[in-house]
Structure formats: C-alpha cells, structure tokens
C-alpha cells in the first residue's frame, strides 16, 4: 500500500513555490506497540504553517527539510495496537499532509461523527473556533456593549470572532474582507453590523465610516494597514488581540510598523499577541458553549473544501491568497 505525503524540499523565500515542495510516495507505516494507524479523511491548512516553513526562530520548531510536514487532521482508525482505541474510531490529531499516519493515541483526541461532521473538528469546533473564543473573551477581555473590529473576518477564525461577539452582547461588530461577496456574507449571513472591502479604499477611512465613535476591541488577523487603522480608532481602554498578520508572512523585507503606536499611550490601550495553545484550558468550556449555538443555527460557519491530497499545497496557497471563505479543508 502507498502512502502519499507532502515533504518540504527547500525553504520558501517570499511566496512559496511548487518546487519548494514534493508529493512523495512512501510505504504505509506499521503501527508500533501502543500505536494506531489512521487513514486521514480531512486535512487542515492554516496560515501559521507558512512560519514553520522558515528556519527563523519562532514559537514552534520549523518543518524539517526532506521530511513530511505536519498539520491538523481527522481520520479513521484502520489498525490498533492501543488499549481503548478500536478500528472504526475517529481521531483528531496533528499528523496531516499525508494519507496515513501511525501515532500514539495519547497525542490525539477521539471525536464523534454522530455529534458533528468530522470536518468541523478542524474548524468551528476545533483550533480556529477555540482561537476565536479565547482571543476575544480572554485576551481582548471582551465586555458586553463593546464595539468590535475584526480583520480577515470571512476566514475561519474571524467569522467566529464576530459572531461570538454578537452572541455575547457587542454593541457593534465591524469586519473587513477581501471581496464584495465576502462583505455581503458578513452582514447578511453572519450578522455583522457593518463590513467593508479593504481593497476598495484606505482601511482607516472605511473603518472610521463604519465605527465613527471608535472601537473598543480589535481582533487582528492581518496586521499592516489594518493594525494602524485600528490603533487610530481605538477608544480609551481599548484592547487589541494579535492573532495573526497574514499581510506580512511572505515579505522578504521587514514590514514597516504602525506609525501611530504613541496613540496607545493616549488611549491607555493594550495590545497582546497570543497562541491558542496557551488557552487549551478553555477547550471544554468552549465546546460546551459553542455546540448548542451551532446546533441552534445561532453560530454559523462555512467551509471551502478542496478534494484530494494532490491539491493540498494549492489549498494552502489559497489560504495565503484569501481564496477561502471560512475554514479551508482538504478532503481525502
């Protein structure tokens, strides 16, 4: 049996290119003592993976050259040498970018296909959902009545941030997105009070028009001109949660910082970066609160699904381009 898996062949400079990667055929691994063999069904591609393709020091070890990459995945157990895990069980784990994975179930979580579609454990009920929940409620210290601005608001994380803010009593929620279709989705489907296409004009001007009385919370997925605009609109005591800065991930030169950081002094504002892994203690609370919202239709989500392991790289590049609406998923 053949196991197709994606290897990093060289470290990308600027935008990743196809020659930086290789789809390699290998033997399906044999599970060792205490391990299981999982046939992956859904793979996740996420912006943070771009950072792991670099050798620069970061919060996670870089992908190793010539070896299979990693990422979130959900699959079915097809062989088990582990007590408590049976053939047919479904596991959420971190051995993506491949068709089959042999792993220790201690590094995986059982999930139920009856409770929710398997793909949702990579999106709305998974890491992106917890990122939105923890970043908004804990890091940004959201309070009822806040005005909230979310960049990259049609993505897997941003769309959940805006909806959770509304469910928690935000006075006003504004989102930015990269197309008029996504803007319409934010207001018509996700319940944002206002949204704008950042390609249609200066972000600062469009944000001021959408929030003339300023913002109390900014959830940053983009960085760059969005961050500068948010600082410019920040109310006294405002909070900024830095989740990602996708606008600079492929830069070959350092990006200029916001030119108005001194405004944080005037507003007594706070800006804090975070990693979702720092907030895993909120996982059960998040699922307990989010699952009923999803079941009742109050928390909506979308997925962009790409078929086939051979298209995993293109799906990842699509995330960097902003091609996806909601969570980008690769279905095997």
CA of residue 306 relative to chain centroid, distance: 16
Helix/strand/coil for 41: strand
Distance CA 118, CA 123 (A): 10
pLDDT (tens digit, 9 = 90+) per residue, 10-30? Answer: 999 999 999 999 999 999 999
The pLDDT of 98-127, averaged and rounded, is: 93
* Domain boundaries, given as residue ranges, for the chain: 2-123+302-331, 127-277
Write down the pLDDT at residue 285.
Answer: 93
Site of tokens 């307990």:
288
**1 has pLDDT over 90:** no
Buried b (16+ CB within 10 A) or exposed e, 190-223: bebbbbbbbeeeebbebbbebbeebbbbbbbbbb
Between the CA atoms of 277, 252, 96 and 104, what dihedral angle is there, to the nearest 10 degrees? -50
| Residue 254: band (very low, low, confident or very high) from pLDDT cuts 50, 70, 90 | confident
- CATH domain 127-277 topology: Rossmann fold (3.40.50)
Mean pLDDT of the chain: 95
Tens of pLDDT, residues 295-317: 899 999 999 999 999 999 999 99
Please determine, for residue 251, whether its predicted confidence score (pLDDT) is greater than 90: no
List, in sequence order, every residue forming a beta bridge with 177; answer none if it has no partner.
197
Q: Is the pLDDT of residue 247 over 90?
A: no
Nearest residue to 77 (alpha-carbon basis) of 88, 92, 66: 88
Q: How many Cβ atoms are within 10 Å of 299's Cβ, its own excluded?
A: 22
| Predicted TM-score (pTM) of this structure | 0.87
Question: What size, in residues, is the chain?
Answer: 332
Is 140:241 a contact under the CB 8 Å cutoff?
Answer: yes
Taken in order 60, 66, 68, 69, the sign of the CA dihedral is positive
Q: Do domains 2-123+302-331 and 127-277 have the same CATH topology?
A: no
Architecture in CATH of 2-123+302-331: Alpha-Beta Complex (3.90)
Residues 162, 153: contact at Cβ < 8 Å?
yes
Question: How large is the average pLDDT for residues 87-96?
Answer: 97
Strand bridging mode 234-242 / 215-220:
parallel
In which band, very low, low, confident or very high, does the pLDDT at 96 lie, cut at 50, 70 and 90?
Answer: very high
- Residue written as tokens 């207001």? 187
Q: pLDDT tens digits for 138-163?
A: 999 999 999 999 999 999 999 999 99
pLDDT in tens, 166-188: 999 999 999 999 999 999 999 99
Of 77, 78, 60, residue with least CA distance to 69: 60
Closest residue by Cα to residue 305 from 329, 327, 288: 329
């Amino acid at each position: 049996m053949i196991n197709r898996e994606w290897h990093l062949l060289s470290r990308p400079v600027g935008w990743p290119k196809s020659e930086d990667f290789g789809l390699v055929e290998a033997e399906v691994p044999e599970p060792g003592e205490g391990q299981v063999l999982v046939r992956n069904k859904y793979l996740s591609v996420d912006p943070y993976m771009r950072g792991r393709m670099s050798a620069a020091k970061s919060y996670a070890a870089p992908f190793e050259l010539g070896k299979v990459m990693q990422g979130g995945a959900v699959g079915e157990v097809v062989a088990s040498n582990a007590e408590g895990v049976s053939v047919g069980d479904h596991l959420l784990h971190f051995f993506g970018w491949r068709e089959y994975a042999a792993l220790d179930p201690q590094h995986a979580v059982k999930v139920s296909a009856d409770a929710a579609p398997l793909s949702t454990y990579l999106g709305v009920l998974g890491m992106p959902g917890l990122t939105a929940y923890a970043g908004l409620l804990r890091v940004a210290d959201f309070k009822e009545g806040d005005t909230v601005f979310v960049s990259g608001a049609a993505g897997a994380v941003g769309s959940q941030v805006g909806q959770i803010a509304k469910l928690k009593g935000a006075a006003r929620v504004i989102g930015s997105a990269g197309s008029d279709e996504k803007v319409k989705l934010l207001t018509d489907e996700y319940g944002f009070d206002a949204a704008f296409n950042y390609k249609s004009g200066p972000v600062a001007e469009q944000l001021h028009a959408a929030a003339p009385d300023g913002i109390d919370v900014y959830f940053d997925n983009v960085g760059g001109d969005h961050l500068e605009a948010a600082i410019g609109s920040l109310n006294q005591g405002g909070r900024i949660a830095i989740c990602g800065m996708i606008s600079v991930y492929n830069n070959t030169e350092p990006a200029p910082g916001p030119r108005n950081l001194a405004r944080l002094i005037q507003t007594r504002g706070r800006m804090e970066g975070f990693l979702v892994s720092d907030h895993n203690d909120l996982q059960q609370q998040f699922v307990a609160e989010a699952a009923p919202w999803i079941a009742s239709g109050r928390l909506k989500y979308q997925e962009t699904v790409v078929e086939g392991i051979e298209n995993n790289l293109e799906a990842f590049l699509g995330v960097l381009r902003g091609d996806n609406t909601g969570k980008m998923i690769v279905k095997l």
